[in-house]
Chain A
């Protein structure tokens, strides 16, 4: 197949269908945005691509040997756990090179001692920098300040230029406009 991932007339959900039929293709080096109102099934679609949610109809085709990475909205449960940022990056195989200065010098601090935004960006970085061909991001700008969003935007563009495909679910219109090559708007009754 051409591209990294292709969905045809895909309907997904957990116990019951939660999305309208969707056609989607993501190529290497492409950043695709998924937008739409709450409850339309954006996160469920990412979960289905990651093999978590159920496919009710249609199909998902992946390039053989495709390596996926998934960032979810819920933050990893690290409160009360002595795990440093450096250890987190080592675990996922992510490199600290390229981290913003406001995080690079805080790598040896426990994750539960970082601010919510710092912790979010570090866990996001651990996933973004882990070896992957296609990265699935669910509301990656949550908890990030302007500097964090700017750094993330630049980094995603660099990663796409290096050949990775990226699928972004986000309500942040400015971020989606700045980073995505293509945007698919999901609606309750149809897909635009």
Chain B
């Protein structure tokens, strides 16, 4: 009974633990890891707003995160040096906290989003997360050469007459939607921990890009499984346990 009860939350989180570390490698490649935290906060605010408006929270989170991802590029030139991500993060956090404080309906979901209560995940979350994760991995595989080239040889796009914006906007949207989906399940900081720490460790150790992706994936999945068992055994909220475990692993390895 309890195994069945926890199987769906476990699989939902596992799908996130597979996608987020790989996505995090590309965010780190582009020096955009702060954007991940911003997308999570904006998604949380969008979910709460949707709940207050009588709509599905997941839909609200996805839509606001997608708008943030698409809109981020518009302001990137005016707000350089990561300012656009910092402003998005602050706006998302402020909006989410104010909604949770002023709308009784949003308070419980607000706590769940920031605490990372994975155990509430149901099959209505598992299938979108699993199928969305698969699409995200396939899209990352297709975008990978262009994302790497944009970093190490940015002139190539102009020299070959190729438009760089579809890759940039496509990746921003992909990152925003993936983070929004993961935030609904793992919570804001749980999702950020998986997108930041495994790639950070993998980049230090890996011999090449492919092995970097494999390292990040392995660290993310192992940490997730361990955190799931620990949080369940100790009856603690999942998000902080995962984040703390990854921080400890990070400090030990570093």
Contacts and interface: CB of A to CB of B under 8 A. Distances in A.
Interface string A110-132: 10000000000001001100100
A77 B151 CA distance: 7
A84 B210 CA distance: 10
Nearest to B144: A91
Interface in B157-190: 158-160
A151 interface: no
Contacts of B210: 87
B51 to A, nearest CB: 40
A123 B153 CA distance: 9
B148 A91 contact: yes
A127 B153 CA distance: 9
B29 A126 contact: no
Contact of A70 (B29, B155, B208, B212): B155
Interface residues of B, number: 22
A150 interface: no
A80 B28 CA distance: 10
Contacts of B208: 82-84, 86-87, 108, 110
Secondary structure type dominating chain B contacts = helix
Interface residues on A, range: 20 to 34
A161 interface: no
A76 B151 contact: yes
A72 interface: yes
Contacts of B152: 76-78, 83, 88, 91, 123
A112 B91 CA distance: 37
B207 interface: yes
Given A67-B160, A82-B202, A91 B153 contact: yes
B211 interface: yes
Contacts of B145: 91
Given A82-B212, A83-B208, A84-B209, A126 B153 contact: yes
B93 interface: no
Contacts of B149: 91-92
A57 B132 CA distance: 51
A92 B209 CA distance: 15
Contact of B158 (A50, A82, A130): A50
A192 interface: no
A78 to B, nearest CB: 7
B207 A110 contact: yes
A15 B54 CA distance: 52
Interface of B: 29, 145, 148-149, 151-153, 155-156, 158-160, 202-204, 206-212
For the complex of A and B, list the 8 residue pairs with the smallest distance between their C-beta atoms, beginning with the closest.
A84-B208, A82-B206, A82-B212, A76-B152, A68-B159, A70-B155, A51-B158, A83-B209
Interface of A: 50-52, 67-70, 72, 76-78, 80-84, 86-88, 91-92, 108-110, 123, 126-127, 130
5 contacts: A52-B155, A68-B159, A76-B151, A91-B148, A91-B149
